[in-house]
Structure 1
Amino acid sequence: MSLGADKNLTDLPIELPSLVFSQLWNRDIKSLRLTCTFLKEIARLRLNRVFLSANPTNIDVFYSIANHNTFRKEITEIIYDDARFASFYGIREFFPDEIDEDAWTDSIKVARSERPDHIARTKQINSQPPLKICCQYYQDLLQQQDEVLISRSDEEAFIFGLEQFPALKRVTITPAAHGWLYAPLYETHMIRAFPYGFNYLIPRGWPIHGNLHMPPSAGLWEDMTEREKGQWRGFRIITRALAQVEHNISELIIDVNQLPTELNCTIFNNPCEEYNNLVTILSKPGLRRLDLSLIVGGQEHFGWPAFRDGYIRRALSKAKDLEHFSLSATLEADPSASLRSTVPGGGGSMAHFIPLQSVFPVLEWPNLQ
C-alpha cells in the first residue's frame, strides 16, 4: 500500500490501520508499538485471557496484568495449566558435567518423535540446545515448581485475579496446555519463555495411561491419599476458590483436548469437599456454561454409582441458568460390546445402559440452548 509522497500513516482513517492490526499476533503488535508514539497509541494489545500455573513466570505475568489499570479490565478468561513437570530417571541428581545423556534421551524420545510437519516446528527441531542445557533448564523448572507448590502462590494469585478482573467470565482448567512438542495447545507465558528449540518431556498433569489410547481407571476418591488427590491439584484449588470467593464467573470449562485423562468421576459417588465445592459453584446465579470431562474406567464393575446414585444429577440441577452443558468420558473399548452380548458385565449387557434423564436434569435448565 502506497500513501503517496505527501501522505503519511497519520493521515489514514483510524479504522484502516486498526483493521490491519487486528490481523497481527500480539508479539508483532508489541514490536510495532515501539516504532513511534502514534503507533503506540493506536496499536492496542489484545489481552482478553491470562494464564496461570505452578510456575513463577506465569504467576509474575499474571500479577503484572492484574495490577495494570487498563489491561486488567479487558481480561475475560483465566486459563489454569494443571500439568506439572515430573521428576524422572534420577534427573534431580544430574549435573551439567555428569549428565547421563542416554537416560535423558530415553525420557524425551516420545516428544522427539513428533512429525515435523510445520515449518516453525522444523526450525525448532533443528535448533535444539545441547542436552545438558535442556536438562539444566528442566531442573530449574522443577525447582521453581516445588517452591510454588510449597508457597501456594498460584492459588493466591488466582484469588487476587478474581478481585482484579471486572470483566472475567470464564475459567478454563486444562492438563493439556503443553500439547505436543513445539505445538502447545496454549502458549502460556512460561512456554513462550522456553529457550528456542527446548526439548522436554511433555507434562500431562492428570492420570494418563502409558498408552494414550487406553484411559486410566477411576480409583475411589474416598480411599485416595492427599498425595493421590494432588494429581488434580489445580482443579481442587480453583473450585475451592470459586466456591469461597465472590465472583462473576459464568463459564467453567474442563479442557482435556481429547486426551484420555479427566477428572475422577468418583467424586460424585458420595459428598466430599470437591463435590460440595462444585455444588456451591453451580448454585450461584449466572452460571451459563459447564464443560465436564470424567474418568469412568472401573465404574462398569461396580454398577456405575457415580451416575446412578443421583449425586451428579443433584449437583447439576443447581445450575438453574445453564445454557450450555458438555460431558465427555473416556472408557476403554469392551471386546464383548456387541448389543447382543449376554456376557455378564459385558458391554452389551443392559446393566450398563443408563437413562440420560437420570444424569441430566434438563427440566431444571429452562434456558438450555
Structure 2
Amino acid sequence: MAGLTDLANELLYGIFDFLPNSDVKNIRLTCRFLYTVTPLTLSRVFISPFKRDLEVLRSVANHPVFSQQITEIVWDDRRLHLDEATHIEIAQFYDTGVCNVQSVFGHLEQVDESRYVDRRRASLQKALIGLYGHMGEWERAHHLLLRLYDEQQSVLESCEDVETFRFALQAFPRLRRVTIADNCLKKCVEWRRYSTPLMRSLPSWLLKPWPCSILGNGNVCYIAGPTLRGYYAAVRELSRSSRTVSEFIMEPSCRGVDLINDLNIFNSSKEDFIFLIMRNNLTSLEYTLDGYVRLHPTWPWNDIPKSILRMTLSCAQALEHFALNTTVEPCRSRLLHSPVPLLDILPMERWRVLRTFSLRCFVLTLDDFILFLSALPATITSLEFHMVMFFSTKWEEVLYYLRDIVGWGSDPNLPLPTLTVSLRLEYSSSQIVILRDELKLFFERKAPNPFTTLCRPGFESQGSGVTDDSVLPGFGRVVDDFDAI
C-alpha cells in the first residue's frame, strides 16, 4: 500500500481510469488516502419501463459531479412478460425436484401490449396455494414480479420513459451517445448485458433467468421478443431536439427495422430517422435491419426502400465507424433468393473518412463483395464480417480470390485493413470462432488458408447435402457467446 501512496496523483488517476467502479469501490475501502484520490465515475444512464431506472437517471442529472460525466444514454427495451403455466412448473420444480404440473393456459399480456388483464393476476397465486398450501419463497418472488409488471405497464401507458429520455437529452452536457439495447439478448437464461439500477436491486437468483420465464427448446423465449418502442421514441425525440449527439447505436439484439414497411415513402419513423441523420453530425452509426425480410415473399427488397435508406445514410458524411446488422443468422439451406448488393444501400462514395466497418448476418455474392471492397475509402483500417455467408461460394474461395486475383497483400508498402471474420462452429450451435491474425498471415503468405468446407446432410431437394463454411482445427479464437463479438 505504501508504494501506491508514493505515486503522483496524476499517475494514480491514470491507473484507476482503467478500473470498473466495482474495483474502485474496493480500493476506496482500503485506506483514507485512496478513498480521497479515487473518486467514482459514471459514464451512462438507463431508460427502461421500470421506475427505479428512471428515478436513478433523474438523481444523476441533479448531481453536480456525476451529471457532468454522463456521455451515454442506454435505452433498455427489455420487458417483463409472464407465463403463468411455466411459473407454476418452475415453482414446483424448485420445491419438489419434479415437473408434472398440468399447464394453466393464459398469459398476462404479450410484451408489446400496454394493457394488462386484472382477472389473470390472481390465477398464479391461487394455483401455487392449491399446490403447496402456501406460497413460501415463491410468494415473495411472484408478488415482486407482479408488482414490477404493473409498474412496467404504468410507465408504458403514461409514456414516462419517453418523457425521461426527453429530459435526459438536455440534462447531461457531455452526452454524445445514444444506444438502443435489448438487455435480454436472445435467450432469457443469459446474464443481462447491462447492469441497470433495477437489475442491481433484484436478488441474484431472480436475474438468471430474467423472470419472463417463457422457456422452450433451448430455453429460448419464443412468445415475446424485443420491441422497437425505444428505437421509435429515441429517433423521434432526437430528430426534434435542439440537442445533438455524435453516436447512435442500435445493437444487434434489437428487433431490427423492417426495410420494406418502415422505410416506405409515407412513414413517420422513416422521416424521423432522416431528420436525425441530417441534424446530428454522426461519427458513429450502428443500425439493425429485420433479417426476416430475407424470407419474405416480396424479396428482393424493392427499389424505393433501398433508395430511401441509401439517401438517408448519405447524409452522414462525417462517419468514422459504421455497422449494419440483421437479426436473423443466414442458413445456407434457406438461401432461396439473390442477395441485395451492398452498394445499392450503402453510399460508400460519401463516406470519405470512414475508418471501421462491420457487417453482421448478411448474404453476399463474391462479385458484390469485390465491388464493395474496391469502393472503400483509403482511410479504412478495420473490416469485420460476422456471420456473413456467400450465396454461391465459400469463405475459403473468397480468401484465395482476394489474395491471388485481387492482389491483397502483394504490395508490402500498402498496408491492408485489419480483417476480422467470425463463423458459427458446426459442431456447437453456441460457439463462435473468430479469425483475425490468421487472415493477416494468410495474405502475407506466411500461413495456410484457415477456412475449409464441411458437407452435412441436407434435405432431399439439396441432393447430397449442404456444404458449409468451416475452420481448420487450431485456427481462430472460440467464444461461447454470439454477443461477445
1:28 deviates by 4.9
Counterpart of 1:193 in structure 2 is: 201
**Partner secondary structure for residue 265 of structure 2:** coil
Counterpart of 1:275 in structure 2 is: 270
1:215 deviates by 12
Query: Which amino acid in structure 1 is aligned with residue 210 of structure 2?
Result: I
Q: Higher strand proportion, which one?
A: 2
Counterpart of 1:264 in structure 2 is: 258
User: Quick check: 1:176–1:256 contact (8 Å CA) kept in 2?
Assistant: no
Bigger relative contact order, structure 1 or 2 (CA pairs below 8 A, ≥6 apart) = 1
Counterpart of 1:93 in structure 2 is: 121
User: Quick check: 1:291–1:325 contact (8 Å CA) kept in 2?
Assistant: yes
1:180 deviates by 5.0
Deviations 1:143-188 (A, max 9, x none): 1111211221111111111111111111100123567546211111
Counterpart of 1:139 in structure 2 is: 146
Q: Structure 2: how far apart are the matches of 1:214 and 1:270? A: 36
The yes-or-no answer on 1:247 pairing with 2:275 is no
User: Quick check: 2:27–2:34 contact (8 Å CA) kept in 1?
Assistant: yes
User: Quick check: 2:76–2:181 contact (8 Å CA) kept in 1?
Assistant: yes
If the length of structure 1 is used for normalisation, what is the TM-score?
Answer: 0.72
Counterpart of 2:376 in structure 1 is: none
Counterpart of 1:302 in structure 2 is: 298
Question: CA RMSD, aligned part only?
Answer: 3.7
Counterpart of 2:420 in structure 1 is: none
Q: Structure 2: how far apart are the matches of 1:336 and 1:42? A: 58
**Partner secondary structure for residue 173 of structure 1:** strand
**Which structure 1 residue ranges, 5 or more long, are not aligned?**
4-8, 104-128, 217-227, 338-345
**Partner secondary structure for residue 202 of structure 2:** coil
Q: Structure 1: how far apart are the matches of 2:200 and 2:229? A: 23
Deviations 1:260-290 (A, max 9, x none): x423223123331110010001112521111
Q: Structure 2: how far apart are the matches of 1:73 and 1:137? A: 34
Which one of 263, 286, 290 corresponds to residue 281 of structure 2? 286
If the length of structure 2 is used for normalisation, what is the TM-score?
Answer: 0.56
Deviations 1:329-369 (A, max 9, x none): 144536363xxxxxxxx34xxxx232222111111222222
Q: Structure 2: how far apart are the matches of 1:186 and 1:195? A: 16
Distance 1:174 1:141, change over 3 A: same
Deviations 1:190-238 (A, max 9, x none): 111112311565379xxx997789999xxxxxxxxxxx9x931111111
Query: Which amino acid in structure 2 is aligned with residue 322 of structure 1?
Result: L
User: Quick check: 1:177–1:184 contact (8 Å CA) kept in 2?
Assistant: yes
1:59 deviates by 0.2
Q: Which residues of 2 match residues 197-208 of structure 1 at below 5 A? A: 197-199=205-207, 202=210
Which one of 315, 318, 330 corresponds to residue 315 of structure 2? 318
Deviations 1:13-66 (A, max 9, x none): 324654664465424544665787654432211211111111100001100111
**Partner secondary structure for residue 171 of structure 1:** strand
Q: Structure 1: how far apart are the matches of 2:205 and 2:299? A: 48
Q: Which residues of 2 match residues 78-227 of structure 1 at below 5 A? A: 78-89=73-84, 90=107, 92-94=120-122, 98-100=126-128, 130-177=137-184, 181=189, 183-199=191-207, 202=210
User: Quick check: 2:264–2:270 contact (8 Å CA) kept in 1?
Assistant: no
Counterpart of 1:115 in structure 2 is: none
Q: Structure 2: how far apart are the matches of 1:198 and 1:209? A: 15
Q: Which residues of 2 match residues 325-336 of structure 1 at below 5 A? A: 325-331=322-328, 333=331, 335=333
Which one of 27, 44, 47 corresponds to residue 49 of structure 1? 44
Counterpart of 2:351 in structure 1 is: 365
User: Quick check: 1:99–1:132 contact (8 Å CA) kept in 2?
Assistant: no
User: Quick check: 2:190–2:208 contact (8 Å CA) kept in 1?
Assistant: no
**Partner secondary structure for residue 93 of structure 1:** helix
User: Quick check: 1:176–1:255 contact (8 Å CA) kept in 2?
Assistant: no
Q: Which has the larger radius of gyration?
A: 2
1:142 deviates by 0.4
Which range moved further: 230-239 or 288-297? 230-239
User: Quick check: 1:173–1:234 contact (8 Å CA) kept in 2?
Assistant: yes
Counterpart of 1:13 in structure 2 is: 8
Distance 1:136 1:358, change over 3 A: same
Q: Structure 2: how far apart are the matches of 1:325 and 1:19? A: 30
**Partner secondary structure for residue 98 of structure 1:** helix
Deviations 1:74-103 (A, max 9, x none): 111111101111243356524785343899
Deviations 1:282-320 (A, max 9, x none): 112521111111113245421333666411111111212
Deviations 1:96-140 (A, max 9, x none): 85343899xxxxxxxxxxxxxxxxxxxxxxxxx932222111111
Which one of 66, 69, 73 corresponds to residue 68 of structure 2? 73
User: Quick check: 2:145–2:211 contact (8 Å CA) kept in 1?
Assistant: no
User: Quick check: 1:32–1:39 contact (8 Å CA) kept in 2?
Assistant: yes
User: Quick check: 2:247–2:282 contact (8 Å CA) kept in 1?
Assistant: yes
**Partner secondary structure for residue 51 of structure 1:** strand
User: Quick check: 2:46–2:74 contact (8 Å CA) kept in 1?
Assistant: yes
Q: Structure 2: how far apart are the matches of 1:10 and 1:84? A: 46
Counterpart of 2:380 in structure 1 is: none
Q: Structure 2: how far apart are the matches of 1:38 and 1:196? A: 33
Query: Which amino acid in structure 2 is aligned with residue 63 of structure 1?
Result: R
**Which structure 2 residue ranges, 5 or more long, are not aligned?**
85-106, 109-119, 356-485
The yes-or-no answer on 1:236 pairing with 2:232 is yes
1:250 deviates by 0.7
User: Quick check: 2:188–2:220 contact (8 Å CA) kept in 1?
Assistant: no
Work out the percentage of aligned pairs sharing the same amino acid.
29
